[in-house]
Homo-oligomer: A and B are copies of this chain.
Amino acid sequence: MRLTSKGRYAVTAMLDLAFHSQLKPVTLIDIAARQTISLSYLEQLFARLRRANLVKGVRGPGGGYSLCSNACDISIAEIVAAVGERIDATKCGGEANCQKHHACLTHDLWMDLGDHIKSYLQQITLADLLAKGRVQEVAERQNQEARQVIEIRNHADLMNDIK
């Protein structure tokens, strides 16, 4: 079992998306700037998120990504699974055969642990995280810090939209 930056980045990016994509799609460039994640790496992650039907992409200017469902219907477990992180703690992958085609001494322990973690992550949704004060604070700070990079662009877009 492993939970690495791949899964952390995916959840972080999805949360950023949930936070900013109320009106229009959000570009990966913006997410990369706000969350300090490599753009190329994000692209790879979003390819998988798209294949898992969690986000949809819109090409061209004004494009970007937005969520497929409501934030309250997307669990952390789904996101983590979509990018291929194994939440399973067993060696056998649930087959109970890691020791000469038989179960090893600790198979049940790791199965139970995996189920435990899975159900924990399943019960938490993006909406739950959005509701936390701490998340709001951090998102605010990130907006401040990434302002010069992002908002100038977005502001120009907005002016154009108004025109």
Q: Which A residues form the contact surface with B (CB < 8 A)?
A: 1-5, 8, 11-12, 15-16, 35-36, 76, 89, 91, 99-100, 102-110, 113, 116-117, 120-121, 124, 129, 132, 134-135, 138-139, 141-142, 145
Contact = CB atoms under 8 A, between A and B. Distances in A.
A105 B106 CA distance: 35
- Which of A1, A100, A107, A132 counts the most chain B CB atoms within 10 A? A1
A3 B106 CA distance: 13
Contacts of A76: 109
Given A8-B110, A113-B121, A120-B113, A3 B105 contact: no
Given A2-B3, A109-B129, A35 B124 contact: no
Contact of A35 (B2, B11, B104, B135): B104
Closest 10 CB pairs of A and B: A2-B2, A1-B3, A12-B106, A12-B105, A105-B138, A15-B105, A11-B106, A108-B134, A3-B89, A36-B99
A37 to B, nearest CB: 10
